[in-house]
Structure 1
Amino acid sequence: MSRTTDQDEPQSQRATMVDKHVGQRIRERRLAMGLSQQQLARIIGITYQQAHKYERGQNRISAGRLFSVAQALATEPAWFFDGLGADNVVEELPPRQRMQMELMRNFASIKDEKQQEALSSMARLLAGS
C-alpha cells in the first residue's frame, strides 16, 4: 500500500506544471506548422481527444509518444522543455515572443492560401527583406 506524504505533493504539482508546459509547446509547434489537432493525432496514431488532453496537460505524455510528436512536428524532443527554469518553474515569455506566437496562431488559422501569401508578402516588405 502506498502512502502519500506532504513531500509527495510538491512533486506531483511540479509534474503537472511540466505536463502543461509540454502541452503548450506541442500546441505552439502544431499551430506554427499549420496543423489541426486532428491532423497531428492522425499522424502519430492517437485520437483527437487524446491529442487535446496532451495539449492541455491533462494527460502526461510518455517519452515514446513525445518522440513521435517531435518527429511529426519536425523538432527535437528537448524543444518541448525549453522555457522550463530551475525546479521546473515555467519562465514567462517576453512580450515580443508572446506576440510572435500569437501571430503564428493567427496566420495558421487563415484558411485562404492567397490571404496567407498576401500577409507573408506584407511581412517581408515591412521587414525590408
Structure 2
Amino acid sequence: MAANSSALKPEDRPPLGTPRPVDVHVGARLRQRRTLLGMSQEKLGEAVGLTFQQIQKYERGANRIGASRLYQLSNVLDVSVSYFFEEMPGEVQKTRGDYAMASRAEEIEVVQAGDPMARRETLELVRAYYRIEDPKVRKRVFELTKSIANAAGVDGGADLDLDD
C-alpha cells in the first residue's frame, strides 16, 4: 500500500491535547444552539446520556464528537447535522488533514469571539425578544433598539424590514 502523500509528519502535528479547529467550530455551534434554546449543559447532557462536564468538553472542542453522538445532539437540538459545520471560517476549511497548529485553533476562537452572533449576550437577547408574544410590542422593542443604536452613531439596520 502506497504512503499517503498528504499525511503529516509527526513533527507537523500539533501537541497532544490541542483542539482541532473543526472540533472548536463544531463545539461553538453546539454551544450557540444550546444557548439559543435556553438549555443548560446539564439538561443537554441528560437528554443524550452524558454529564455536563462532557458537554463542556465538546463545546470547547477539547473532545471530538463522534458521528452517532452528533446525530443524537442534532435531534435533541432540532437542527440538521450539517448545522454544526455551517459558517465554518476559511481558516478551518484550509487546515491540512484536519490537523492545525495550536496558534490556528486560537485564531479561530478569536474570530468566533469577535462574531457578535456567537456571543452569549446576543443569543440571550434574541431568545428574550422572541418570547415577547405581542407583535406590536416586539416591533416597538425593535424600533427602540434601532433608535438607541442610531443615537450612539451605529447603523441601526434601517434597511431591515420587520414583518411578522
Note whether the superposition's TM-score is higher than 0.5. Answer: yes
Q: Counterpart of 1:35?
A: 39
| CA shift digits 1:77-109 (9 cap, x unpaired) | 11111122331485x46x7x625753223465x
Q: Counterpart of 1:113?
A: none
Tell me the distance in 2 between the aligned counterparts of 1:100 and 1:49: 21
* One-letter identity of the residue aligned with 2:40: S
Q: TM-score, normalised by structure 1?
A: 0.69
Whether 1:103 and 2:99 are equivalent positions in the alignment is no
Whether 1:21 and 2:28 are equivalent positions in the alignment is no
Partner SS state of residue 46, structure 1 = coil
Runs of 4+ in 1 over 4 A off after TM superposition: 12-15
Whether 1:124 and 2:139 are equivalent positions in the alignment is yes
Whether 1:81 and 2:100 are equivalent positions in the alignment is no
Tell me the distance in 1 between the aligned counterparts of 2:122 and 2:26: 20
Q: TM-score, normalised by structure 2?
A: 0.56
CA RMSD of aligned residues (A): 3.4
How many angstroms does 1:5 deviate by?
Answer: 2.0
- Of Structure 1 and Structure 2, the greater helix share is in 1
How many angstroms does 1:117 deviate by?
Answer: 3.2
Whether 1:6 and 2:21 are equivalent positions in the alignment is no
Tell me the distance in 1 between the aligned counterparts of 2:60 and 2:76: 19
Q: Percent identity?
A: 31
Rate the CA distance shift 1:20–1:124 in 2: closer, same or farther, 3 A. Answer: same
Moved more, 30-39 or 76-85: 76-85
Rate the CA distance shift 1:34–1:53 in 2: closer, same or farther, 3 A. Answer: same
Tell me the distance in 2 between the aligned counterparts of 1:100 and 1:21: 11
Whether 1:49 and 2:53 are equivalent positions in the alignment is yes
Runs of 5+ consecutive residues of structure 2 not aligned to the other structure: 1-8, 96-103, 144-161
Bigger Rg, which one:
2
